[in-house]
Chains A and B, each alone.
Chain A
Amino acid sequence: MALIEIKNLKKHYASGEDTVEALRGVDIRIEAGEFITIMGQSGSGKSTLLSVLGGMNHPTEGDVEMAGVNLYRLPGEKLADFRAQRLGFVFQAFHLIQYLTALENVMLPLAIVKMKNAEKRSAASAALERVGLGAKLDRLPNQLSGGEQERVAIARAIVNNPEILLADEPTGNLDSRTSEEVMALLSELNRGGQTVVMVTHNPDNCRYADRSIVLRDGLIVEK
């Protein structure tokens, strides 16, 4: 059985009088350990697809099955728990908490986990070590470069060892060299066993991927 399976997924947004059909019937199967990129023009529905996959955006129609769980049938807060335990999310704009240090930002997902503080600390510094920021644990986000902030965001996404890593344009704000570094990092994480689903504008990034999905106007046009 596939790790992620979505069938006939539709997502409509109400936008004033009209509805925007962001996703108009998408079917995807993703196996455990795959590295998938999602491409497509601006407004084609990439972010929408990723947030639906991430359990943060209720679809208008269709189901998302992930590791045998029908995400949007989960009662109330169980969906949040699923996100906390099995998913890691990397945002294009990093979205680090400005008043927390790199280490604290990475510890954030562990704030709701029963664990000794020392263990949280070592887990977070290990994650930062993995992304190559072992020496900058106590920096605040505004004391880090864009690439470094992105790495902190990745460390935060992997600190609880999620099965699935979802990344929305993680290289969108980075120059080409830093982009390469981040891609190499994601690819390394993938080799370590993490399933990676990544939205990108840059076709170059696709060479790290096992497969590329292209969206146009809310439909898959190429797999």
Chain B
Amino acid sequence: MKLHNISLNNLKRRKAKMAFLTIGLTVGIATIVTLVTLTRSMSSDIERKMDEFGANILVTPQSNGLAMNYGGISLGGVTFDQKEILEADLARIKTITNHKNISTVSPKVLGGIRIGAHDVLLVGVNFASEIKLKQWWKVFGNLPETASEILLGSDASKILNLNPGEDLMIKGEKFKVAGVLDQTGSQDDTLVFAALPKAQKLLGKEGRITLAEVAALCSGCPIGDMVTQIAEKLPDAKVSAIQQVVEGRLKALDQFKRFSWAMAAVVVFIGSLIVFVTMMGSVNERTVEIGVFRAIGFRKSHIMRIILLEAAIVSLLAGCLGYAFGMGGAKLALPFMAESSGAHLVWDVTIAFGSVGLALTLGLMASIYPAMHASRMDPTEALRAL
């Protein structure tokens, strides 16, 4: 018979109450584990995706005109005083120090053009490099192979009422629709794509381009450095790193993180309250018992130890269960929260130890006052008139 036998026996006797306490704490810890694991898994998912796409660098003209947007990316204004980049200059990109990290350079020329009764945005691209950059493109039909073939965005194809294999006239020239893009959900849906030299000619911009997208081949490669290096080679162009794609998601993640912290704070508060109220109730129910302990010579510190040990045992159990249920919850929720289906659950020992540690701290902190209250009970008062 030691003090811990008393704690254990009491826990066994008060199964229902202790189960309630354990469940309360478990739910709290599980919520926190789920939230933390979800945020971690989601950020690792996003990081992975950033690597997959390569961090793109955008080369646009310096401009003092109006801003124009492409895929949510602000380009130099495609306006009357439009400065343009010379296609020949682009070759210099391949001479930067980190040229090995460049996987693709995709030059583009942009301009408005009339097809039938519609104004459309014509984009001249190098299809071979464009398809490397936009791996998510799905083409009905084929990619254009000759200069007289074009590719339509899905919306453009609907509005122009053109399908693969059909012909159309642009500026008196006959073109064939080689393929139509499946819906991408991006600006690409509304565009008409043609081979770069042809588009330059149609738009009267021979030898010039509107922008170039550079795909960097890297996981953790020095995008910042590459941007500076390219800017040095092309002093007339504006070079920027596109991070908007993931940035939007990172922002959402950041909000989710903040929400998680708020939730965690609420859960910790409620958990502490449950522990406090239950332990206080348990101590008050045990007045006589504690009076007996004191009467037969238990010190105040012995009483504290009995109560705190009970809290510690329950908290330990709740910490372990909370971790298990929390990871289960994260596993169930991750497919709904992450964008890619390949998102992996992040297993982390620090979360395991953290959840047990948190449960212990929470359980003990909330039990300190009840334990002190118990140790201060007056034995004569407790045993009087009973």
Q: Measuring CB to CB, which residues of chain A are less than 8 angstroms from any residue of chain B? A: 47, 51, 54, 56-57, 77, 80-85, 87, 89, 91, 93, 95, 97-100, 104, 107-112, 117, 120, 124, 156-157
Contacts and interface: CB of A to CB of B under 8 A. Distances in A.
A95 B383 contact: yes
Interface in B360-386: 378-380, 383-384, 386
Contacts of B297: 80-85, 87, 109, 112
Ranked 4 nearest A-B pairs via Cβ: A84-B297, A107-B1, A99-B13, A83-B297
B2 to A, nearest CB: 6
Contacts of B301: 77
Interface in B299-324: 299-302
B152 interface: no
A57 B382 CA distance: 12
A109 B296 contact: yes
B295 to A, nearest CB: 5
A112 B5 CA distance: 11
Interface string B98-117: 00000000000000000000
25 contacts: A54-B295, A56-B294, A56-B378, A56-B379, A77-B299, A77-B300, A77-B301, A83-B297, A89-B295, A91-B292, A91-B295, A91-B383, A98-B13, A99-B10, A99-B12, A99-B13, A108-B293, A108-B296, A110-B1, A111-B1, A111-B2, A111-B302, A112-B298, A120-B1, A124-B1
A56 B380 contact: yes
Given A47-B384, A56-B379, A95-B288, A112 B299 contact: yes
Contacts of B5: 104, 111
Contacts of A95: 288, 291-292, 383, 386
A111 B299 contact: no
B6 A111 contact: yes
Interface string B277-297: 000000000001101111111
Interface residues of B, number: 29
Interface in B66-87: none
B313 to A, nearest CB: 15
B9 interface: yes
B1 A84 contact: no
A83 B9 contact: no
Given A108-B1, A117-B1, A80 B380 contact: no
B19 interface: no
A87 B379 CA distance: 15
B9 A99 contact: yes
A104 B295 CA distance: 17
A47 B383 CA distance: 10
B190 to A, nearest CB: 76
B3 interface: yes
Contacts of A112: 3, 297-299, 302
Nearest to B303: A80
A61 B298 CA distance: 25
Contacts of A89: 295-296
A109 B289 CA distance: 13
Most buried by A among B297, B298, B302: B297
Contacts of B288: 95
Nearest to B289: A97
Nearest to B4: A111
Given A47-B384, A104-B9, A156 B1 contact: no
A22 to B, nearest CB: 11
Contacts of B379: 51, 56
A157 B12 CA distance: 26
